[in-house]
Chains A and B, each alone.
Chain A
Amino acid sequence: MGIGFDASFVFIQLLNGLTNAMFIFLIASGLSIIFGVLRILNFAHGSLYMLGAYMTHQCVSFFINSPGRFWLAVLIAPLTVALLGGVIERTLLRRLYRHEELIQLLFTYALVLILSDFARFLWGVDQLSVSRPPILKGAVEIFGQYFPKYNIFIILLGPCIAFFFWLLMLRTRWGRMIRAAALDRETLGALGVNVDRLFTVVFIIGSWLAALGGALVAPVTTIRPGMDVEIIINAFIVVVIGGMGSFWGTFWGAMIVGPVYAMGILVFPRLSIIFIYVIMILILITRPWGLLGRPLER
């Protein structure tokens, strides 16, 4: 369409892609951890993300007179959703591990419907909005272009969270157990580890990550019914590209999908979305277990 691309616009586009990548990473990583350990494809993961966003709005409204209300909300909202995740795992999901995958899938899909009605009941159908925290309002100048401060914060925060989790997985007992469970949960159980409790913890962590994504995305989007289903497709694509159950795979999957999509918009505006699907199809053909995943036995 006859736009001369300055290098600065291309760079900004890359940053846009990276911001998006960090959001998808947060959501997809929870999905991936849960799949890795529980072997459940959790369709309702997007619902936890949506609840995280709604809870953030709730907290921000509750602490309306406090200057740090957004940060308080980011702290509290994901924790409440994580708690809900724990309850769901304990009371409902637990009964499904012995059943075949189709039943599990149907169940998590039912959860999507129930949680979306739950959100509608509590918060109605209005579009809700959360403002950026004062310190991150506005934009900074980068090579003569403007880029929102909040997005820079997200780009920096994403790798920090990834690194922190990687350390947790590597250095702590729980981390080692989670990695072991992803490899072989039967043996882990035989070794005397309480696998039931481990599953609950993993589901809580996954829910927390989803809700954290929802909390952080709240200032740049509209909180509304339907955002649960919109995000889940992207998260699935990233998990498929990165490798089901692989933590770093999810990170790099998001790092590919985000910028590729953004650059696609710059180069072929009408076809941008196709690139991502092409990548996914190529991965599925050549490496069905994803970039950093392992081929499933059985």
Chain B
Amino acid sequence: MMKKLLIFLILVVGIFTFTQPGLTAEKSITVGFPMYLSGGGAVFGKPSAEGAKMLVKEVNDAGGVLGRKIELLVRDCKGSPEEATRVATEMISKDNIDFLVGGLTSSQGLALSEVSKQEEILYIAPISKVATMTEPPRFHKYVFRAACNSKTEGRSAAVLTAKKPWKRIATIGPDYSYGHSVTGAFVPMLKKLKPEVEIVHQAWPKLGESDYMPFINVVMASKPEAVFSTLWGGHFITFAKQASPLGFFEKYGFVSAGEAGCLEAIKGAGEDMPAAIISNAYDTFYYPDTAWHRDWVARSKAFTGETYPSSWLGTGYDAMKFLVEAIKKAGTTDTDDVIKALEGLTIDSSVGKLTMRAKDHQAARGQYWGTLTKVPEYPFLILKPVEYISAEELME
């Protein structure tokens, strides 16, 4: 009886083992992708995960890398660093992932970087911007960032602001690591470029503040000529809806970091989106009008089935592409070899040629900046004129 049972068990296990695709062939390369998929940031997390899936599909359709398929495990890690840590650790211990890509908020990036250091697994941050992640003492060999960082974002805003005639500047930003690091990069750069500038007020509403009116009033009381903001996503929309009846955006110049110029924010705000403000975006499907960008937009339209592809698709796509190209270059999935291959690697990304710097594992990535303008072609505002501000001369 016992023997029969044993034979039966072996048969069952055998059937399951050999009928599973992938196991008969070479084992696939597994990448864990924890992402903010539920809660306030999900509007950006979802397209980022879609971008990662798009790259994986392209690679697998072309036969994979090193003859192996890529297997992407996308998991929801909500908005908190604790949850990101938990999900990543689980994927490392249970799913035996080979590489880690993901996380959205700055604090999630820092948390996942810590996980990668402890677990000695290669980690690429597609979105998290806080500069300290790739600076000593937090920097370590396992962490890479494909996104632009808070320093280059703040500094590029300063470059744009310095060109304007404004002398009295107020700042407003969410009171947490991202807001402080972007504003902290903006102010000194602006003072360096234009010493006569005076910072008349700095407002720090808490992250997720629902009532910006008291802050807006104090900013107005400080009589600025222009306001620099690091409110992002829904926070910016809420702010804009409350500020616009006061004529805020007509009275003062407004420079907004935090991708207020991305399609999601613009569509989300609808008719409440202020025109004529200066802002940035990871990608703009309408610019630049070059062969490689047209190709990128066409492919992302085909993959997502959307008429106007998201500005955030490229974040997941580029991070995954860095990983795949590095594996290809290394000729192995050995972590140390892939790390070496990633250092200094240049890829064809969603924003053109993009290089991962060897010295701080930070992609030399800039962003599109422009002025929100109403045009007849689209039912929403677009950045026009828009330019890609390169990060290279803004980085240390």
Instruction: Give the interface of A toward B (CB within 8 A).
Output: 1-3, 5-6, 9, 12-13, 16-17, 19-20, 23, 116-117, 120, 125-129, 131-132, 137-139, 145-151, 217, 219-222, 224-227, 230-231, 261-262, 265-266, 269-270, 272-273
Judging by beta carbons under 8 Å apart, are A13 and B238 in contact? no
Select the residue from A2, A3, A266 with max chain B CB neighbours within 10 A.
A3
17 additional A-B residue pairs with CB within 8 Å, beyond A148-B242, A220-B238 = A1-B201, A3-B221, A5-B221, A16-B211, A20-B214, A23-B211, A125-B39, A125-B42, A129-B272, A131-B271, A139-B247, A217-B210, A220-B241, A222-B241, A224-B43, A226-B79, A266-B217
The CA-CA distance from A289 to B37 in the complex, in Å, is 40
Q: Which residues of A contact B214 (CB under 8 A)?
A: 13, 16-17, 20, 261-262, 265-266, 272
Q: A225-B39, A227-B210, A270-B204 are in contact. Are A220 and B271 (CB under 8 A)?
A: no
Instruction: Give the interface of B toward A (CB within 8 A).
Output: 37-40, 42-43, 45-46, 79, 200-204, 206, 208, 210-211, 213-215, 217-218, 220-222, 233-235, 237-238, 241-242, 245-247, 264-265, 267-272
Q: A1-B222, A132-B245 are in contact. Are A222 and B211 (CB under 8 A)?
A: no
Judging by beta carbons under 8 Å apart, are A222 and B234 in contact? yes
Closest to B40 in A: A226
The CA-CA distance from A201 to B40 in the complex, in Å, is 32
Q: A127-B43, A128-B268, A226-B79 are in contact. Are A138 and B245 (CB under 8 A)?
A: yes
14 contacts between A and B (CB under 8 A): A9-B217, A125-B39, A127-B43, A127-B268, A145-B220, A148-B242, A148-B246, A220-B238, A221-B241, A222-B235, A265-B215, A266-B218, A269-B218, A273-B206
The CA-CA distance from A137 to B271 in the complex, in Å, is 12
Judging by beta carbons under 8 Å apart, are A16 and B43 in contact? no
The CA-CA distance from A227 to B271 in the complex, in Å, is 21
Q: Which residues of B contact A137 (CB under 8 A)?
A: 245
Say whether chain B's binding surface is mostly helix, strand, loop, or mixed.
helix
Closest to B201 in A: A1
Q: For the complex formed, measure the closest distance between the CB of A218 and the CB atoms of chain B, giving whole angstroms.
A: 10
Judging by beta carbons under 8 Å apart, are B269 and A126 in contact? no
Which of B202, B221, B237, B270 interacts with A6 by CB under 8 Å?
A: B221
Q: Which residues of B contact A266 (CB under 8 A)?
A: 214, 217-218, 221
Closest to A219 in B: B241
Q: For the complex formed, measure the closest distance between the CB of B362 and the CB atoms of chain A, giving whole angstroms.
A: 29
Q: For the complex formed, measure the closest distance between the CB of B145 and the CB atoms of chain A, giving whole angstroms.
A: 24
Judging by beta carbons under 8 Å apart, are A131 and B46 in contact? no
Judging by beta carbons under 8 Å apart, are A129 and B268 in contact? yes
Select the residue from B200, B204, B214, B234 with max chain A CB neighbours within 10 A.
B214
Judging by beta carbons under 8 Å apart, are A20 and B211 in contact? yes
Q: Which residues of B contact A265 (CB under 8 A)?
A: 203, 214-215, 218
Judging by beta carbons under 8 Å apart, are B245 and A146 in contact? yes
Q: For the complex formed, measure the closest distance between the CB of A224 and the CB atoms of chain B, giving whole angstroms.
A: 5
The CA-CA distance from A137 to B222 in the complex, in Å, is 25
Q: For the complex formed, measure the closest distance between the CB of B300 and the CB atoms of chain A, giving whole angstroms.
A: 18
The CA-CA distance from A13 to B211 in the complex, in Å, is 12
Q: Which residues of A contact B218 (CB under 8 A)?
A: 3, 9, 13, 265-266, 269
Q: For the complex formed, measure the closest distance between the CB of B46 and the CB atoms of chain A, giving whole angstroms.
A: 6
Judging by beta carbons under 8 Å apart, are B221 and A9 in contact? yes
Q: Which residues of B contact A224 (CB under 8 A)?
A: 40, 43, 234
Closest to A225 in B: B39
Judging by beta carbons under 8 Å apart, are B245 and A16 in contact? no
The CA-CA distance from A285 to B235 in the complex, in Å, is 35
The CA-CA distance from A132 to B271 in the complex, in Å, is 10
The CA-CA distance from A265 to B271 in the complex, in Å, is 29
Judging by beta carbons under 8 Å apart, are A148 and B39 in contact? no
Judging by beta carbons under 8 Å apart, are A12 and B264 in contact? no
Q: For the complex formed, measure the closest distance between the CB of B239 and the CB atoms of chain A, giving whole angstroms.
A: 9
Q: Which residues of B contact A19 (CB under 8 A)?
A: 211, 213
Q: Which residues of A contact B221 (CB under 8 A)?
A: 3, 5-6, 9, 266
Which of B39, B203, B220, B246 interacts with A9 by CB under 8 Å?
A: B220
Judging by beta carbons under 8 Å apart, are B217 and A221 in contact? no
Judging by beta carbons under 8 Å apart, are B237 and A127 in contact? yes
Q: A9-B221, A17-B214 are in contact. Are A129 and B270 (CB under 8 A)?
A: yes
Q: Which residues of A contact B46 (CB under 8 A)?
A: 125
Q: Which residues of A contact B213 (CB under 8 A)?
A: 16, 19-20, 151, 262
The CA-CA distance from A219 to B235 in the complex, in Å, is 14
Which of A131, A217, A225 interacts with B40 by CB under 8 Å?
A: A225
Q: A125-B38, A220-B242, A224-B234 are in contact. Are A131 and B217 (CB under 8 A)?
A: no
The CA-CA distance from A117 to B79 in the complex, in Å, is 15
The CA-CA distance from A13 to B238 in the complex, in Å, is 18
Judging by beta carbons under 8 Å apart, are A3 and B222 in contact? yes
Judging by beta carbons under 8 Å apart, are B201 and A230 in contact? no
Q: Which residues of B contact A2 (CB under 8 A)?
A: 200
Q: For the complex formed, measure the closest distance between the CB of B189 and the CB atoms of chain A, giving whole angstroms.
A: 20
